[in-house]
Structure 1
Amino acid sequence: MKAASLLLPLLLAACASAPSARADDPSAAAVDAQLPRYHWRLDQATGQDGKRIEALFARPDKPLQLDFANGHVHVSNACNAIGGSYRLENGHLHVDALMHTMMACMNASLNALDHEISRTLAGTPAVRLENAAGTPHLFLVTAGGDTLDFAGVPTPETRYGGPGQTLFLEIAADTQPCPHPLVPGKQCLMARERHYDAQGLATGAPGPWQPLYQDIEGYTHEPGVRNVLRVKRYAVAHPAADAPAVAYVLDMVVESEQVRR
């Protein structure tokens, strides 16, 4: 049975925006340069009384995450998508015109999560970066004494040493056997490249179906479901023997369809 598919043309290109204002303080510039290099995942959060802020941990399987890019901060793993333009001034994070999607959160704890992180970002928290055992940590400290500690996870651009190439891959509903000298009976995703114009409409003929001998980071295939993915392809500088020279990282699922069997 065919399921509804969704194409998001407004997300086919990276969001362009004017750069955020920068403080003259060199330390602020150093912090600002580091922020886009990592996914910042909430590790700890305590109030002025030293107690854990439980509302911020409503999704223990998916920690709250901040991403900074193109002068904007984006919150993921809450109920709604939350974000806005930001700047650093005098050691504080200023987030302008914080925006939310309008999903109805049936779970009260997710509503509380949205409210709590929005309140923190809107409150112009103080910012500092520290390094603990090789892991960078971003601390946001509110005027009321709340302290949020985010651990940094390198972005693909940081891990692979540069920007990736954006492309669209259609993934067939079922895997196929693919010969591999080291993996007997290996099954591969079948993929072909797709092309879209600026309005999100398919253009040209799809490329040929080919076995994909590697995983796509962030993508878990469900048998019987055909997907069109927007991915980024990165060159791997020094691949191990018999390892691929490129890496694919999922950016978003553009289209999904349950294929009738």
Structure 2
Amino acid sequence: MKRLLSLSTLLLAPLAFAQPGNPLEGDWTLLISGNYGKLQELAPAPTLRIQGKQLSGFSGCNRYSGTFSAKGTQFKVNPLASTKMACEPRPSKTEQAYFKAMQGVMRYQVSNNTLVLYTKGSGMLVFTRNPKIEAKTLNTAPEAAITSVAPDTQILLVGPKKVDCTGMVPMKCLQVRTPEQTNWEFFYQSIEGFAYEEGFTYKLRVRVEDVKNPPADASSKRYILVEVLEKNPPK
């Protein structure tokens, strides 16, 4: 639950071209998008994987894939292909907004573990790099291979609404606390497998795993839903 860089710090930071290999490559999750000053979260959060000149990911509704070209800081996404699964209105709206923005990307910036794709005008898509989880051994079940230490579990209480917070960029954070705590804390990351619905309070059992060698601006912990113990409607 650590605070990350502000958006102004991010955009003024030097470009990370000195990194070994291609700094674009890897797995990314969209934090916010829109025009500067009117940035918003898209939910479910789209993802982006870049390998060579190939890109793929989750649009919020469907899986997609395609190619891109990059020269210097210029970046152009070629027409994308996607699956055709029907979704609820909110994921469908997320997908439409994401695809429209992606097809309008003109340039990019990589700073530390943040990727910003700039679209026409003042539009942008701000991604954070996903931590690379290394398997301890080969040929083992996925659940047992994603952490270098034995997983731990804990109980988290989740508040009924997200609140404004400033991490790497202005964003909306869950409010969480343990049963022993009285004050809510900002939760700057996601709980994998947890489908949050605003207006409800939750009591969750989560598995907490150490991330081996996390990026400097990322959490050293990974939270995975084990069980929803309580889901209480608005009073």
Structure having the higher helix fraction is 1
TM-score by length of 1: 0.42
TM-score by length of 2: 0.46
Structure having the higher strand fraction is 2
Mark the structure with the bigger radius of gyration: 1
